[in-house]
Amino acid sequence: PFPRPRDHRLPGAVSEVLEVNPDVVAIARRYFQVPASDERLTLRVCDGAQFLAGAGPGYDAILVDGYDGESLVEALSSRAFFTSCLKRLNAGGMVAVNLWGSDRKFNEYLGRIEAAFEGGTLCLPAEKPGNIIAFGFRDPPGRLRWEALAARARELEARYGLEFGRFVKALRSMNRCDDDGIHAGAGS
């Protein structure tokens, strides 16, 4: 058996994965060592939009990556879907949506996220050109100061080995900010 990286990096994390295509799940298990469901990982073959629209538990984070090869599928890009995500988030929770900056509907998708998440949004261009992660906050994060973000990034880099400092720098390119910090709250 392969060791689970999440056991080492995020020992308290519990994940629930939704995938509409059973073939994707089979390929992930066969070629990418995605394990069977257990107490820390639940993998459901279902329609994610329908699942989130129904009653169920709250989440600290919802990650959305629903491209069909050309664009974000409608079921995972509607205002109703993003509103469902908002309703399923715990206090302090957030949604992260993978978008393509070159998608002809990019501004439309981002507008829907911003409309649903009045608590605030941020965009983070990913290292791979074209990918942009849009974050929607259930609750306003308030003013985020660069100094505090940089200090937190250093802590997280030491703990997880990821380039959080680079992420903080990348936030400057697509969000309202000044020399002191970034504006992520509603109406900032």
Would you please indicate which residues are annotated as catalytic (active-site) residues? Answer: 65
Q: 140-144 contacts: CB < 8 A, separation 24 or more?
A: 140/184, 140/185, 140/186, 141/184, 141/185, 142/184, 142/185, 143/181, 143/182, 143/183, 143/185, 143/188, 144/181, 144/182, 144/183, 144/184
Question: What residues form DSSP beta bridges with 43?
Answer: 17
Burial of 140 (0-12, 13-18, 19+ CB in 10 A): middle
User: Which residues, in sequence order, are CB contacts of 39 under 8 Å at separation 6+?
Assistant: 14
Question: How far, in Å, CA of 113 to CA of 126, rounded?
Answer: 18
Instruction: Tell me which residue of 133, 127, 130, 119 sits closest to 183, measured CA to CA.
Output: 119
Place of tokens 């309703």: 87
